[in-house]
């Protein structure tokens, strides 16, 4: 056997075995290539036995496999070598010489050395592959994770093959509530099964990745995209025998272009999904150039906002609230105006964007502070202020210190709480609703006013009246407009809403009043206060200060 390690046969054998990436491949390759050296080393039989290693992993259907065997071998001359795998498995390799041969001690040493070298190299490759799998696989669902997706794109995008694919970003609707109801462990099981169903729907050529939480991204062949999207409209997942969840989703879809990068694809599906998410009716939105334009504008707003806030591009305007019978000023609303590039950007163009990004919280506090500065100026100059209402987005309700934070601003300017009213819009979300009730009570206990803005535009307006006590309800402009547009029916509805609010001991104000006929009707039904162009448009603080002065006389 001298010089066997340098022989051609062994070199071939060695390089073949080194290709093994798993233990089962190691065994298979050993079986396929052992004949190249068996003659040189007088090998009669090669067997594997294993402990603590799953059969599946070993790639055989038993814990014992014969890799190579001559018809006859020297069965009483066994050379046994034991190896421990990194995950506590044990592999025994049993070698027998050919019949009537017995290995010398030197031969045994060479064989052992050879086996050892091979085994260690194989174990390293195997461990490396496991780490690699761990890095690219989502541990909960078994589909690709973000990193896995990046690798997948790296490998496939350059080939141009992705040009025949459609990317679909999917978010499960209300998954948060499933988690809350059944606990996160069961929630995890639901996610796992959901991912399995996505894999089935994506088909053999498809790929699924989990993008964190309940978000998934799938690449499916263009011709299968429609079926995939239809299939994801509702996916039923069962837990045990009796529990079944019908999971619906929102999706953003993008047909991948030949030269797209991974970030092109992700941006496109996210943009399309963002539109689907906001939409009341559309479950699935396909990426278009309009979506791109809109989303680019939104991103620009979000990007320049911090700088614009620092540079004081936002200014506070005040719109009068007026008692219709006397025409006297009885309050005002602080409304933001953005001075940018020589023009004024209307709030409806940026407030919703900032609400989505969360930056509205900074803006609302900025506006509160600007308002407090004005009130301080009026008080210092013996100008009698009116109560100023400041809009606070409902996303503030997640801030458990909101009441304190607002109060702190007033304390800094030494403004009594009665001069500030917080305007909130209705909320349809349960969690927010409870937070809102608590916040309203807390603020009123501290002496602040609270009002409900745009009343009648939400889903739960009337229901809310049962629970909530505020100072003022602001009837949305659409109600006021409907007085003319929808005639008697609208009038009946508005009259009864006003009655209800007044009977409940709250004040009611009509927004967006422009016409005398509206004024007449509102007065007739007992709505005494109005805010609208008929009584004054939103104006700069200087002009509003003059209004306050003339109101004092």
CB neighbour burial string for 116-140, b if at least 16 within 10 angstroms, e if fewer: eebbeebbebbeeeeeeeeebbbee
Which range in 268-276, 303-311, 412-420, 507-515 contacts ligand C2E by CB under 6 A? Answer: 507-515
Does residue number 449 form part of the binding site for ligand C2E (CB under 6 A)?
A: no
Residues forming a β-bridge with 344? 339
Instruction: Give the range of 10-18, 60-68, 360-368, 378-386 binding ligand C2E by CB under 6 A.
Output: 360-368
Give the x/- contact pattern for ligand C2E in 298-337, rule: CB under 6 A: ---------------------x---------------xx-
Size of the residue set binding ligand C2E (CB under 6 A) = 23
Nearest by Cα to 193 from 176, 216, 174? 216
User: In sequence order, what DSSP letters do the residues of 471-517 get, joined into one string?
Assistant: SEEEE-HHHHHHHHHSHHHHHHHHHHHHHHHHHTT-EEEEES---HH
Distance in Å, CB of 235 to ligand C2E, minimum: 37
135-143, 432-440, 505-513, 518-526 -> range binding ligand C2E (CB under 6 A): 505-513
List 264, 514, 523, 547, residue binding ligand C2E (CB under 6 A)? 514
Q: Check if the beta carbon of residue 527 is closer than 8 Å to that of residue 498.
A: yes
Among 138, 224, 298, 453, indicate the residue that binds ligand C2E (CB under 6 A).
453
Q: Which stretch binds ligand C2E (CB under 6 A): 50-58, 117-125, 178-186, 510-518?
A: 510-518
Q: Is 420 helix (H, G, I), strand (E, B) or coil?
A: strand
The listed partner (Mg ion, ligand C2E, none) that binds 346, CB under 5 to 8 Å by sort, is ligand C2E
Nearer to ligand C2E, 177 or 533 (CB): 533
Let me know: does 86 contact 78? Beta carbons within 8 Å.
no
CA torsion angle 123 125 131 133 (round to 10)? -120
Q: How far is the CB of 250 from ligand C2E (least distance, A)?
A: 25
Pairing of strands 215-221, 165-172: antiparallel
Q: Which of 346, 358, 487, 526 binds ligand C2E (CB under 6 A)?
A: 346
Of 15-23, 205-213, 229-237, 361-369, the segment contacting ligand C2E by CB under 6 A is: 361-369
Told to check if 148 binds ligand C2E by CB under 6 A, we report no
418: DSSP letter:
G
Does 490 interact with ligand C2E (rule: CB under 6 A)? no
Hey, is 85 helix, strand or coil?
coil
Cα torsion through 318, 330, 422, 371, rounded to 10: 40
The footprint of Mg ion (CB under 5 A) covers 391, 423, 453-454, 511
Task: Confirm or reject binding of residue 518 to ligand C2E (CB under 6 A).
Answer: no
- Decide which of Mg ion, ligand C2E, none touches 107; Cβ closer than 5 to 8 Å per partner kind: none
The rounded distance, in Å, linking the Cα atoms of 145 and 150 is 9
Query: Taking phi first (over 0 means left), then psi (-120 to 50 degrees means alpha), and beta for anything else, what does residue 54 get?
Result: beta
**Candidate ranges 78-86, 170-178, 486-494, 527-535; the one touching ligand C2E (CB under 6 A):** 527-535
Contact 394, 432 (CB under 8 A): yes
DSSP letter for each residue of 207-265? EEEE-STTEEEEEEEHHHHHHHHHHTSEEEEEETTTEEEEEEEEEEEEEPPTT--HHHH
Q: Rule CB under 6 A: is residue 358 a binding residue for ligand C2E?
A: no
Considering CB distances under 5 to 8 angstroms, the limit depending on partner class, which of Mg ion, ligand C2E, none binds residue 451?
Answer: none
Per CB under 6 A, 138 contacts ligand C2E: no
> What are the C-alpha distances in Å from 110 to residues 46, 79, 92, 121?
16, 12, 17, 17
Region of 74-82, 305-313, 403-411, 511-519 interacting with ligand C2E (CB under 6 A) = 511-519
Integer Cα distance of 473 and 470 in angstroms: 7
- Binding of ligand C2E at residue 484 (CB under 6 A)? no
User: Which of ligand C2E, Mg ion, none is residue 351 near (CB under 5 to 8 Å by kind)?
Assistant: ligand C2E
Is the Cβ–Cβ distance between 99 and 74 less than 8 Å? Answer: yes
Q: Output the smallest distance, CB 492 to ligand C2E, in A.
A: 23
Cα 431 to chain centroid, rounded: 18
Is 391 among the residues that bind ligand C2E (CB under 6 A)?
Answer: yes
| 208 contributes a contact to ligand C2E by CB under 6 A | no
Query: Closest distance between ligand C2E and the C-beta of residue 56, in Å?
Result: 58
φ/ψ of residue 237, rounded to 5: -125, 130
- In the complex, the smallest distance separating the C-beta of residue 320 from ligand C2E, rounded to whole angstroms, is 10
Q: To 5 degrees, how large is the angle CA 126–CA 131–CA 132?
A: 95
Q: Which residues bind ligand C2E (CB under 6 A)?
A: 319, 335-336, 346-348, 351, 360, 363-364, 367, 391, 393, 453-454, 511-514, 531-533, 538
């Amino acid at each position: 056997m001298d010089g066997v390690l340098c022989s051609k046969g062994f070199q071939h054998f060695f390089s073949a075995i080194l290709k093994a990436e798993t233990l089962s491949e190691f065994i298979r390759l050993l079986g396929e290539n052992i004949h190249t050296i068996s003659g040189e080393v007088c090998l009669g039989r090669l067997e594997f036995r294993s402990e603590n290693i799953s059969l599946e992993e070993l790639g055989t259907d038993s814990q014992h496999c014969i890799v190579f065997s001559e018809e006859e071998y020297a069965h009483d001359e066994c050379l046994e070598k034991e190896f421990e795998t990194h995950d506590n498995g044990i592999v025994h390799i049993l070698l027998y010489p050919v019949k009537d041969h017995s290995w010398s001690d030197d031969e045994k040493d060479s064989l052992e050395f050879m086996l050892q070298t091979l085994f260690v190299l194989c174990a390293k490759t195997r461990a490396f592959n496991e780490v690699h799998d761990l890095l690219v696989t989502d541990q909960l669902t078994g589909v690709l994770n973000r990193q896995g997706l990046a690798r997948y794109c790296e490998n496939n995008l350059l080939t141009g093959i992705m040009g025949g694919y459609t990317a679909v970003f999917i978010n499960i609707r209300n998954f948060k509530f499933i988690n809350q109801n059944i606990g996160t462990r069961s929630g995890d099981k639901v996610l796992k099964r959901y991912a399995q169903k996505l894999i089935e729907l994506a088909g053999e050529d498809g790929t699924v990745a989990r993008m964190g939480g309940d978000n998934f991204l799938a690449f499916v062949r263009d011709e299968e995209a429609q079926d995939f999207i239809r299939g994801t409209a509702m996916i039923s997942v069962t837990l045990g025998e009796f529990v079944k969840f019908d999971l619906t989703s929102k999706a953003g879809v993008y047909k991948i272009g030949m030269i797209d990068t991974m970030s092109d694809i992700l941006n496109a599906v996210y943009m399309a999904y963002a539109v689907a998410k906001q939409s009341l009716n559309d479950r699935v939105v396909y990426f278009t150039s309009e979506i791109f334009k809109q989303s680019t504008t939104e991103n620009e707003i979000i990007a320049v906002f911090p700088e614009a806030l620092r540079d004081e591009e936002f200014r506070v305007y005040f719109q009068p609230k007026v008692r219709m019978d006397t025409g006297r000023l009885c309050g005002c609303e602080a409304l933001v105006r953005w001075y940018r590039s020589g023009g004024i950007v209307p709030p409806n163009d940026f407030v919703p964007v900032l609400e989505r990004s969360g930056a509205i919280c900074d803006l609302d506090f900025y506006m509160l502070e600007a308002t407090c500065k004005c009130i301080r100026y009026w008080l210092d100059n013996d100008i009698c202020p009116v109560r100023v209402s400041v809009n606070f987005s409902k996303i503030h309700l997640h801030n458990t210190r909101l009441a304190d934070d607002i109060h702190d601003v007033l304390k800094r300017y030494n403004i009594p709480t009665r001069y500030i009213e917080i305007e909130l819009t209705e909320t349809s979300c349960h969690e927010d609703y409870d937070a809102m009730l608590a916040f309203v009570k807390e603020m009123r206990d501290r002496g602040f006013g609270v009002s409900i803005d745009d009343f009648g535009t939400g889903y739960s307006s009337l229901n809310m009246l049962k629970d909530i006590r505020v100072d003022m309800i602001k009837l949305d402009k659409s109600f006021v407009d409907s007085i003319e547009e929808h005639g008697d029916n609208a009038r009946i509805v508005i009259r009864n809403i006003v009655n209800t609010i007044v009977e409940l001991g709250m004040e009611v104000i009509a927004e967006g009043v422009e016409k005398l006929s509206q004024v007449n009707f509102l007065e007739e039904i007992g709505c005494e206060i109005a805010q609208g162009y008929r009584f004054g448009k939103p104006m700069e603080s200087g002009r509003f200060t003059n209004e306050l002065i003339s109101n004092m006389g």
